[in-house]
Amino acid sequence: MKKTSSLFLVCLFSFSTALFAQEKLDLATIDKIKEEGLKRSQIMDIMFNLTDVSGNRLMNSPGYYRAANYAKDKLISIGLSNAALDAYGEFGKGWELEKSYLAMTAPYYRSIQNYPKAWTGGTKGLKNAEIVAVVLKDSAGLEQYRGTLKGKIIIIDKLEAYKQSFKADAVRFTDEELEKMANAAPMQPRGQAPTTDTAMMRRMQAMRSGGNVLNILKAMAISEGAVAMLTSSPRFHDGTIFSQGGGGYKGTDPENFLDMAIGIEDYNTILRLVKAGKTVKLDADVKTKFYNKDLQGYNVIAEIPGTDPVLKDEIVMIGAHLDSWHAGTGATDNASGSAVMMEALRILKTVGINNKRTIRIGLWGGEEQGLTGSRGYVKKTFADPATMDLLPSHEKFSSYFNIDNGTGKVRGIYLQNNAACKEIFEQWFAPLKDITNGTITISNTGGTDHQAFDGVGLPGFQFIQDPIEYDTRTHHSNMDVLDHVSEEDLKQIATIVATFVFDAAQRDQKLPRNALPKPRPAVMRP
């Protein structure tokens, strides 16, 4: 059957030469990659070590270093070279939650599920505190609460109605949705986006304004000796709580006021009681720990050296961010991506490829704080986006492939507006049609590490993945744990990544590039 399949594909590709250049695909090796990746996968063992064993991987926390050192040692055992924790610049403090207890004690007892936000302080022992409701409108309105916050736990006076969901948490892309992606129009070039006051811009301005008032309230709370504050959202329901950062983490930043994320059901219960004139008291006992000894940020870097005398100095890169938030163990965001990339290289080493170009992996730190790891690596290795001064290795770079959209299987790839790669990727997907749709869209997906490469004119790509329950349940939440990953999907992803990496490493030319972007000096927000 394999011979028949390969012959069919050869015929298909021969027919296509009349339309575009033929990719020289090693179909026999691709068959071996598929066999190893789909039938003898080690993906779940890697996942177990990155999640259950390491714990959460908040940047510069003990969990991050457990995972980073495991990844480095695993890559060495696979057979990679030059494996190291590679410093990319200063990140800031590490942080760890050591204890968190919260319960309502009056007017009756009720245990409250909670997740203190990262880089916030603790209670310095058990505190029994009365709840005070604060209307968060503007800074002038906060003056009515001055002198009333000592020893109190603050709740924002904003009832959010619980809304039943009539949609499935976990979904896959439909054929219609994939077709729409494939037919998308090219994106606007940088610097040509509309500058008019859109609804989105107004919402962003409102969020910034609300954040400023909240920061003023926190400063007042610290100065007056308040215990903590409670925050929630309509998204925090049915046991799922999303908890991220609670303020600055730089070495010079002061300790942030304790901010505890709780479910909307508990939040509304407390607020309704307070607004009805009932005295509500909570027990709170939170202990956190900061790590200041080493403020540097570290990525995990390793490689399979190339063998071709001419092409061995050229680089094909794959990557995913290793760091996570702290309420869960970051299984879908983004242990799944990191494990997939490690497994892809294990597959390639196991089948014994003789890669022409060097294949390099980057497991990035600090993605959750603004792609700090990948951007730091790109800046010191290839080019500074602020000046666009290119280092010699910029010319030697072929391509970068990224995974960071949860556990869902690959359905295709985003071109990042690089139309010249479309016909190449169509041919690369052809031997994989039995396991993926191979949808190719000119569009981009933002917010993850391929953008660090694209930002200096290097071909960086993110794969299209089924959303599953990423946005609805796992992304940055306490539900982002190993039980929420799909083993079969991860096997498929690793197999496809391994195939793409192999194809990129073996082709005669580097992948086509977009035009170099203009320098983009960093802009400091007021």
How high is the pLDDT of residue 310? 97
Distances (CA, A) of 17 to 45, 281, 394, 423, 432: 42, 75, 31, 11, 19
Residue 525: predicted pLDDT: 46
> What's the pLDDT score for residue 188?
66
8 A C-beta contact, residue 57 and residue 64: yes
Task: Give the C-alpha separation, 397 to 417, whole Å.
Answer: 18
Contact yes or no for 314/357 (Cβ under 8 A): yes
Question: Cα dist. 382→50, 251, 351, 445 in Å?
Answer: 29, 27, 31, 22
- What residue spans of 186-330 are helical by DSSP H? 199-224, 264-275
**Upper half-sphere CA count for residue 84 (Cβ side, 13 Å):** 5
Determine the pLDDT at residue 21. Answer: 81
> What are the average pLDDT values for consecutive 10-residue runs of the chain, which has 526 residues?
43 42 95 98 98 98 98 98 98 98 98 98 98 94 96 95 89 96 80 45 51 91 97 95 96 96 98 98 98 97 98 98 98 98 98 98 98 98 97 98 97 97 98 98 92 98 97 96 98 98 98 96 60
| pLDDT of 57 | 98
Query: Where do you find CATH 3.50.30.30 in the chain?
Result: 95-168+197-291
* Residue 444: per-residue pLDDT: 87
Instruction: Identify the three-state secondary structure at position 210.
Output: helix
Task: Give yes or no for a contact between 256 and 218, defined as CB atoms under 8 angstroms apart.
Answer: yes
pLDDT of 193 reads 42
What does each C-alpha distance from 463 to 319, 407, 460 come to in angstroms? 12, 12, 10
pLDDT in the model for residue 208: 52
Q: Does domain 95-168+197-291 have CATH number 3.50.30.30?
A: yes
**pLDDT, position 20:** 52
How far apart, in whole angstroms, are the C-alpha atoms of residue 282 and residue 129?
A: 5
Closest to 85 in 3D by CA, of 301, 376, 398: 301
Radius of gyration of the chain (CA): 25
**In the chain, which residues fall in CATH 3.40.630.10?**
40-91+295-407+445-506
Pick the CATH number of 40-91+295-407+445-506 from 3.40.630.10, 3.40.50.2000, 2.60.40.1250, 2.60.40.10: 3.40.630.10
